[in-house]
Amino acid sequence: MVENSANLQMNTDTFLVSVFEKAISEQASDIHFERFGQFFIIRFRIDGILQERWRLAATDLEQVINSLKVIAALDITNHETPQDGHFEFILTSSGGVINTNAPGHQDARIEETYQQEDKKINERVLDVRISVYPSIKGEIVVARLLNRKNALMPISELGMDNDTLSKVKHIISKDYGMILITGPVGSGKTTTLYSLMLELKSDERVIMTLEDPVEFHLEWLRQSELRPARGFGFNEALRSILRQDPDILMIGEIRDPITAEHAVSISLVGRIVGSTIHSNSNVGTIARLIDLNIERGMIAYAINGIISQRLVRKICTNCSEQYTPNQSLLDYFGVANNSATFLHGKGCTNCHNTGYNGRIGIFEVMAFDSGIRSLIVEKMPMDAIEDYAYKSGMKSLKQDALDKVFAGLTTLEEITKFI
């Protein structure tokens, strides 16, 4: 539902509190504030899709953006260059509060509050990251809501079937080596990476992280936030991190040849390394590392496994009903109409008439064995490596997606976007 107003009729801070409360109640991941024609619109990203929630007078935009800048300790006189900031939003039983006096995400406030929540104390603290970006129509603000409770979950809750989950647990049970998570932006890679760290958590191990930025502060991790402008980037950190005697190293993302080289080297000297990398598939990750000038032999023997993943929307359980998919979709996936019962959501107030509520992961896990390692070293084509993996039992993204359709969790229309 879009709320309209000729102009802002209430105190701006009070209005922003209502915006953040609504976003949290609807489980939005981001809030977009921007000008659109003669209007100022506010949209929520819910389950990966933007949905408009407010349409106000364009004259209200500057007032709201200035308030957000003040809250996030940004320069209200700067309208020409991007700015990034953050603040805490405290959600209590009596309503939401913007905490302008918080020291920010450099302390353990979020962790402490969630520990309290585990004790049934009804208060939650969310870290809100603010990005201000100049455009020809005025400044655009995007607020990302970081909710540790939603992001930090056991790997058993990510949506893996029993065989896939067993394979992942076996991969991370090794004493050393790399596990990489790949997929496009917004596919849940960081959530899976944190979940793997949670699975590896032990009083007998030291887990260190290199992140840019640190999104969730957790007491059981030794977390480092990189600051390249001050000479503390991935490369500087990786050169000396072994002196800290870590058992497990989590690297937020492998982006360049030097980071890739250090990460691979650390995994080969007896450490577990987990990271994300951008590619379209598991074999695409191998090709990406080769493109980053990593020797095939090092790739073959450093990596224990690669997880390729996507996020798909789940059918709203409140309005799900049986239906018949379009024949072209059935043909595309090679599915007979009478082979299964297909469900979709017809739309209701619970799902804002989208038919979907929440998201679930679909996964393809490549566990490295002697055959894959040999094919990599022998410089075989990527297609040959992929064919071997499938013949050895690797479940494809397509098959995992179809299994979730047959289980009534999502629809053919939804998985078509990703497969």
Give the chain's end-to-end CA distance (angstroms, integer).
31
% of the chain at pLDDT higher than 90: 68
Do the beta carbons of residue 396 and residue 364 sit within 8 Å? Answer: yes
Burial (CB < 10 A; 0-12, 13-18, 19+), residue 240, is exposed
Q: Where do the H-state alpha helices sit in 152-256?
A: 162-172, 189-200, 234-240
pLDDT of residue 72 exceeding 60: yes
Q: Is 381 exposed, middle or buried (0-12, 13-18, 19+ CB in 10 A)?
A: exposed
Specify the CATH superfamily of domain 155-415. P-loop containing nucleotide triphosphate hydrolases (3.40.50.300)
Rounded to an integer, the average pLDDT of 50-56 is 94
What's the helix, strand, coil split of the chain in %, to 5?
35, 30, 35
* Positive or negative: CA dihedral 332, 338, 341, 343: positive
Q: What per-residue confidence (pLDDT) applies to 28?
A: 93
Give the model's pLDDT for residue 102. Answer: 46
Region 158-179: what's the mean pLDDT?
96
C-alpha closest to that of 417 among 400, 398, 404, 399 = 398
Using pLDDT thresholds of 50, 70 and 90, give the confidence band for residue 6.
very low
Q: What is the pLDDT of residue 148?
A: 62
Q: What is the pLDDT of residue 146?
A: 83
**253 within 8 A of 277, measured Cβ to Cβ:** yes
Tokens matching residue 145: 């809501």
For residue 188, is pLDDT > 60?
yes
Average pLDDT over residues 29-33: 96
Topology, domain 3-150 = Beta-Lactamase (3.30.450)
Mean pLDDT of the chain: 88
Per-residue pLDDT at 119? 41
pLDDT band, very low/low/confident/very high, at 183 (cuts 50, 70, 90): very high
Quick: pLDDT tens for 203-257.
999 999 998 877 777 788 899 888 877 778 777 888 888 889 999 999 999 999 9
Residues of the chain with CATH 3.30.450.90: 3-150
pLDDT > 70: percent of the chain: 90
- 14-28, 137-151, 274-288, 396-410 — which is least confidently predicted? 137-151
User: In sequence order, what are the beta bridge partners of 362?
Assistant: 310
pTM of the model: 0.84
Do the Cβ atoms of 65 and 85 come closer than 8 Å?
no
pLDDT at 5: 54
- Does 172 have pLDDT greater than 60? yes
Q: Give dist(CA 32, CA 41) in Å, integer.
A: 8
Tens digits of residue pLDDT in 75-123: 999 999 999 988 888 887 667 777 655 444 433 343 444 444 444 445 6
How does 1-30 read in b/e, with b if 16+ C-beta sit within 10 Å? eeeeeeebeeebeebbbebbebbbeeebbb
- Placement of tokens 């659109």 in the chain: 36
